[in-house]
Structure 1
Amino acid sequence: MSRMKKTQKRSREGELSIEPPPKDHALAKWFYSNDDLIFYELRLAGRKEIPPRYLNPKLLDSQNFNHLKEMLNIQGLMDFVQFRDKYYPELTSIAYATLGMESNTRDLKDFSMVFKLGRNIYKVHCSRLASIWNLPLDGCLFEGGKTPLEDWGYDKMRAMQMFNLTQNEKSKIPCQPMNDEYRTLLYLVTYILEPRISGHGNVADEDLVLMWAMVNEIKINWSYLILHHMLRLKGKDTSGGLGYLCLWSRIFNYLGIDVSNENVKHFNPRWSEINEVTLHHMGRGKEEEEQAPQMAFRGHPGPSSQEQPSMSDLMQVLQSIEQNIDQRFQRIEDNQTSMDGRLQRMDRRLQRMERHMNIQEEEDEDQE
C-alpha cells in the first residue's frame, strides 16, 4: 500500500475542513477523514499483533494456587482471564486509528470508549463496556504513572521485597526469583491485563504496582485501565504491538458491525493457553533437568555446565540468600517473643499455685 501525503484544506472562514479519503482507496469505506487514514497508514498499518492468551483454570487447582485464585476473585477477573474468541486483526488496527476516550470532568468514573468506522461514530459507556468485557464497575481509577500511589501506601522497595525481586546492573527487574504463583500472576498482567509485545521476563514498574495492589486487595477499575492502555498502545511507534484483540471482537459484536468479509483468526490452544506447560517455559523444572546438582535458591536456577555465572547472577543469588536469612531470623525472633510470652504466663500460674498451696498448708496447720 503506497503512503499518502498529508493534505489539509481550509474553508473561506479559515476553519479547517475535513477532506474525505480517495474513493478508490481500498480502505475508503472505513475512514471518513483523510487525516485518520493517513494516521492509520503511518502509525498502525502492518503493526504486529500481541497474541491473545487465556488462563486454563485447572492450573490454579492443580498447583494449589489458592492465593492467586483469591486475588482474581476479589478483582472480578476470573471469567475475564479465561475468555477466548476469534478476532479480526486488520479491522482492530483500523478501529485503533480513531480510538478515543470521553470522560466527565466532574466524575472520572463516568467515561466512554469512542471510535469511528466510516461515517459511523460509536460510543460505548463505561457501564456497558464493563458488561461487554465481563468486568466489575467499581474499583480505583488507575491509568499508569499519573496515579498518586501515595494514597495507596505503595512503596517500590517494599513491593520488590514482597515478591523477592532485585534490580540487576542494567536496571531491569528479572522475574526469575519469584515463585510460580507470582510469576503466573505476572504472566496474566503482561499478556492479558496489560499486554505487550515483548519483555515478559522483566517486571516493569507498572507491573509491580498492579501485582502489589492485587496482593493487598486494592480493587481496580479494569475497564478504565484497559481503555487507557489501549490509547497507549495506539500512541506507540510502529515497533509496538496491538493487543486486546478479543476484547475488540466483543465490541464489534455488540455494536453489530459487519465482520463477515474481514480476515479472522482463531485461538491456538497450544500457544495461547496458560497452563502447566507455561510454567515450564517460565523456568520451572530447570534445576531438576540439570545432570549435576547445582546451587539454586527460590527461583534462582544454578549455572549450567556450559555457561559461567556472571557477576550480576552471583549478586542476585547473594541478595536472595541475604533476604532468606533475614526472613528466617525474623521468624526466629517472632518465635522467641511468643515463647517468652508463654513462659511469663506459665511463671504467673506457678506463682499463683504456690500461693494457693501455702495458704492451704497454713489452714491445715491451724486445724491441727
Structure 2
Amino acid sequence: MEDIIYEAPPQDHPLEKYFTTYDDLNTYLLTFANRKEIPPRYLEISLLNTQNFNTLARILNEQVLMEFVQIRDNYYLDLVGMAYSTLLVEFNDENETEFMFKFKIFKKEFEIGCSELANIWNLHYSGCLFDGKKSLEEWGPDIKQQAFELFNIQRQARKKVLVNIFTMEMRVLHYLLNYVLMPRSSGHGHVKDEDVITMWAMMNDIKINWTYFIVQHMLRFKKGLSTSGFGYVCLWTRIFRYLHIDVSGEEVKRMVPTSVINIRTLHHMGRDLGTQEDEEHQQEPPPPQEQAPQEQAGPSEQPSMHNMMQALLRIEQTQTSMGNRLDRIEKNQARMLRKIRRVEAYTFDEEEAEDDDDEFWS
C-alpha cells in the first residue's frame, strides 16, 4: 500500500483556515458537517422558590449543579462541530480522575486540564466517576433493582417506561437530565435505565463527578452516528471564551425563548403548581381526630406516605387505562355506524334500481 501523505487543504478551500490537514477536514465533513445540535436548555431558578421543589433544590445544591443548570449563552454551531470532530481526551493510566481535554481549531491545538474545565463550567471536580451507563460496584450489586423500586417502576418486556410515572418534581429532574446534564436528541418522553440509575444516585446523595460525566457524554457524541445530534453547545462557548479564541467572524446562534425551563414547561407537561399542591395535600395523612383512647389507631396502622403515593399512582394509571379503552370503544362504535350507514345506503340504491327495472319492463 502507498504511504498516506497528510497534506494541508489548499488555500482556496472555504474551510482552509480551520484545519491543518486534509485528514481533520475530511473527518469533519464526514461526521459533523451535516449534524444538528440538540437545542440547549436552562433552568429558571425562581421555579425552585416554592415548597413544591424542596427535594430538587436540595439535590442540585448537594450535587453542586445549581449554577451549571442556569448556564445560557450564544453558541457557534460550525465551530462546535469542528471542535467535536477533532476532540481527544487523554486519561491518566495511573489515575483516571485526571485527564487532558484536547481539540483543534483555526490550525491550532488547544488543551485544558480537568480541574480547569470544571471551573469553566461552574462544577466541582470531585465525586464518583460515573458515566450514566455502568453502575459502580461500590454502590451495590442490585443498583438497578433498587432504582426501580425507589420510583415504583415495573419494567415489562418490549414496553417502554413513560415519564408520567414520576411526580412533577421528579419529572423536572428527568427533564434536566435529558436536556442539560446528558442531552439526547429524541426519546425524551421515555425513561431509560441510565436515567433511573442517575436519579437514584442523586436522590441518595451520592455525589457524582459531573465534569467526568459530561466529558464521557461528549465522547459519545463524537463516536455517534452522523445522523444523530450533539449537545453541550453552550459549554463550548465558555471553552472558546476561556481560551481567547476569536469567534467574531463566525455565525452565531441564540437560545430561543422556549429554552427556559419554568412554569410554562410544567404546563406543557400537563401539570401546574396548583395541581402539585393538591397532590401533596392528598398525599399528606389526615389530621388525627379526637377519639376515645381505646379507639385510637396505633402508629403501625397509620398509612405511610410511600403507600399513599403508590396508591395514587395506581389510581392515575387505572384512570388513564380506562380512558384509553373508552376512547377505543367509541372509535369502534363510530366506525361500525359508518359501515352500517354505507350498507344501508347501498341496499337502498339496489332497491331503487330494481323498482326502476320493474317500471321499465312493465
**Is 1:192–2:142 an aligned residue pair?**
no
**Is 1:243–2:260 an aligned residue pair?**
no
Q: Which position in structure 2 is the counterpart of 1:308?
A: 325
Tell me if the contact between 1:111 and 1:126 (Cα under 8 Å) persists in the aligned partners.
yes
Whole-Å Cα distance in 1 between the matches of residues 52 and 186 of structure 2?
28
> Does 103-112 or 301-310 show the bigger shift?
301-310
* Partner secondary structure for residue 102 of structure 2: strand
| Deviation readout 1:166-200 (Å, 9 max, x if unpaired) | 32453422111110111111101110000011111
| Matched residue type, 1:202 | H
| Deviation readout 1:76-123 (Å, 9 max, x if unpaired) | 000000111111111111111100101111111111210011321100
Whole-Å Cα distance in 1 between the matches of residues 317 and 265 of structure 2?
18
Q: Which position in structure 2 is the counterpart of 1:220?
A: 208
Instruction: Give the C-alpha shift of residue 150 in structure 1.
Output: 2.5
Tell me if the contact between 1:167 and 1:174 (Cα under 8 Å) persists in the aligned partners.
no
Tell me if the contact between 1:140 and 1:219 (Cα under 8 Å) persists in the aligned partners.
yes
Instruction: Give the C-alpha shift of residue 201 in structure 1.
Output: 0.9
* Partner secondary structure for residue 49 of structure 1: coil
| Deviation readout 1:285-340 (Å, 9 max, x if unpaired) | 6xx8xxxxxxx9436484499843799xxxxxxxxxxxxxxxxxxxxxxxxxxxxx
Q: Which position in structure 2 is the counterpart of 1:149?
A: 136
Q: Which position in structure 2 is the counterpart of 1:115?
A: 103
Taking the TM superposition and a 5 Å limit, the aligned residue runs for 1:256-335 are 256-269=244-257, 271-284=258-271, 297-298=312-313, 300=317, 302-303=319-320, 307-308=324-325
Tell me if the contact between 1:303 and 1:309 (Cα under 8 Å) persists in the aligned partners.
no
* Partner secondary structure for residue 188 of structure 2: coil
Match of 1:45 among 33, 40, 43: 33
Structure 1 gaps, min length 5 = 1-7, 11-15, 289-295, 312-368
| Matched residue type, 1:116 | K
| Matched residue type, 1:113 | F
Per the normalisation by structure 1, the TM-score is 0.73
* Partner secondary structure for residue 65 of structure 1: helix
| Deviation readout 1:113-150 (Å, 9 max, x if unpaired) | 100113211000011100000000111111243x4523
| Deviation readout 1:21-79 (Å, 9 max, x if unpaired) | 23322111111121221121111112111000000111112352111111111110000
- Quickly say closer, same or farther: Cα 1:165–1:62, change in 2 above 3 A: same
Could you tell me the percent identity over the aligned residues? 48
Tell me if the contact between 2:132 and 2:195 (Cα under 8 Å) persists in the aligned partners.
no
> Does 21-30 or 117-126 show the bigger shift?
21-30
Whole-Å Cα distance in 2 between the matches of residues 184 and 233 of structure 1?
24
Taking the TM superposition and a 5 Å limit, the aligned residue runs for 1:58-69 are 58-62=46-50, 64-69=52-57
Q: Which position in structure 2 is the counterpart of 1:131?
A: 119
**Is 1:177–2:165 an aligned residue pair?**
yes
- Quickly say closer, same or farther: Cα 1:305–1:216, change in 2 above 3 A: closer
| Matched residue type, 1:222 | W
Q: Which position in structure 2 is the counterpart of 1:86?
A: 74
Tell me if the contact between 1:103 and 1:110 (Cα under 8 Å) persists in the aligned partners.
yes
Whole-Å Cα distance in 1 between the matches of residues 166 and 320 of structure 2?
18
Tell me if the contact between 1:9 and 1:19 (Cα under 8 Å) persists in the aligned partners.
no
- Quickly say closer, same or farther: Cα 1:175–1:61, change in 2 above 3 A: same
Tell me if the contact between 2:135 and 2:143 (Cα under 8 Å) persists in the aligned partners.
no
- Quickly say closer, same or farther: Cα 1:70–1:121, change in 2 above 3 A: same
Match of 1:31 among 19, 39, 59: 19
| Matched residue type, 1:277 | R
Instruction: Give the C-alpha shift of residue 211 in structure 1.
Output: 0.7
Q: Which position in structure 2 is the counterpart of 1:72?
A: 60
